Structure 1
Amino acid sequence: MATLTPTAPVPAAPKAGPRPIHGEKRDAGRQSLVYLFLLVPMAALAAAVPFAWSTGLLSWTDIALTVGFYLLTLHGITVGYHRLFTHGSFKPNRPVKIALAILGSMAVQGPVITWVADHRRHHAFSDKEGDPHSPWLFGTSAWALTKGFWHAHMGWMFEPRNTTNEERFAPDLLRDRDLVMIDKLFWVWTVATFALPAVLGGLITMSWQGAATAFFWAALVRVSALHHATWSTNSICHMIGERPFKSRDRAANFWPLALLSGGESWHNSHHADQTCARHGVKRGQIDTSARVIRLMEQAGWVTDVKWPTPERLARLAAD
């Protein structure tokens, strides 16, 4: 079977040269923020069920805000950070580009240029040395795969030297003034993603309790739930699942994650055809991110969408 070659600017693995794959070691302050914004929401997620059971503090307002912010920031990552900025699956107008970059930033998974550089490096070295988060870097024994799962799922973010050279892997984004500004203002979008649910919860219920529970559910729990949905694509979807298309790595389709991940868990399909705007290319494969792109295309907000045409799918399945 043949694999389509992506047309987005994902660099090939370098043979040698003065521009290293990895960047400098993260400074202590930035590494501390990684711990803060990953572990605090995770603690809230772990406490969510016993908290709701013991206090009963989960209202329909909390549920609506949690689902709403989850969907907005999820598609900021999947449609914006991933399919647009990393792979160039479509061309947006300027307001859509800016909105997607901000919504992706509000998922608290890192500034847009950093995220894209990491992900392009992942594709350049997928499941080989140089991949920032492959679960297959330590061997195939039970212990090696346990270690690999932890590394792929979230451990790689705690390694201060596992940074990516943005000049090498995201030079196009570094030339975009809008994205550079949004990248620099990542702290603003982080504050907003935690503050807005609390403000809205307080205003809707006209109470401090409403603000506090909305902050717990629609900010902390929602951020961590989305973190794990995204990280599962790096870990689970490179370990188990179906591989109907040929790719040069172990990316697999894992259907149970399709809805929570916005269609990102059709990962084998994506790695086989990286620039395609739809990852769930077969009938019945849920891909809400592709639906969002389709709606924007119908509204005239995006153009040049790379849809999975019969010819494109035929090349994927060719021997």
Structure 2
Amino acid sequence: MPLATSSLRSGWAGLRHQLVSSAWLPGQGRSAGGDTPLARVPDGDRIPCENQVHGLGNLADLKQEGVVTGNDPAHVERLAALLRPVDLLDFVLCIRRWLQEAHTEAAELQPLRKNYRGEWGNNVSFGTDRHQYLLQQAHTLHSDIPELEADAAFQSVLLKVGRAGVYQFNAPKGPHGSLGEVSDLRRELLTSTDDMSLFGRPYAWLSGREPLLLPWSGTETDGLTGSWAGQGTLQDDNHISWAWLVDLEQLAEGSGGKSTPLALVSPLGPTLFDESPPAIPMRPRTEQRRGSAG
């Protein structure tokens, strides 16, 4: 479903932003039109990856709701700050869906690599198809998150959003395992930014943004099995030394399994924009109106 128009954003959304720091109360329906308070959609019909215009909110509230369970709240706040104005959970859910789709679509192609003459797949066919899906479909993320720009230079994908240049890459052994063979481009991106040449590829690619690493893991059989985001530097043994790291799977699970992020409650409680219209009691009239004919 398309997002609210710019006029609505400057109207309803602007006014609501002054009254409440979060968007919607958990358990209440979202508005069908984006901001109209009367036409509400049940929670089960929420649209995935809607780019909502609200901040991370109070980290204590998020932790109480279970969203940051297992993650350091300070690291979650650091990640949210780099992504603003895009909402943290909107970003996480959209990126995970894109990664999972790459695994699903690539896996479905593998049985097609055979006919009556035999098979022509090999042990890199799945990984090649998965990479091509990510590379060719990255630009579609803009329709879910208008503030996100996908740059597919150097046969890789950099997602430019907020103050971050998000570099996603496959980490089969997880974020703390060895990356194995590392390409020159990846090594340049994962080394300290202090060592970047003024006119090197990372400098040109990031365009002044902070590098944000997004390693993920997955297989043909199991699909996406893990995803993380953080900042760190590549060591000589091809392990990453992390300054901070956030488990995106835990963030997604902490959102309660909903297709959209958990909403946060304003410290002042619900406003008229968050409350449902009062119920009007209706009952059939059992007696004839006095003075009527018949």
Do they fold alike, i.e. is TM over 0.5? no
TM value normalised by structure 1: 0.25
Higher alpha-carbon Rg: 2
TM value normalised by structure 2: 0.27
The structure where strand makes up a greater share of residues is 2
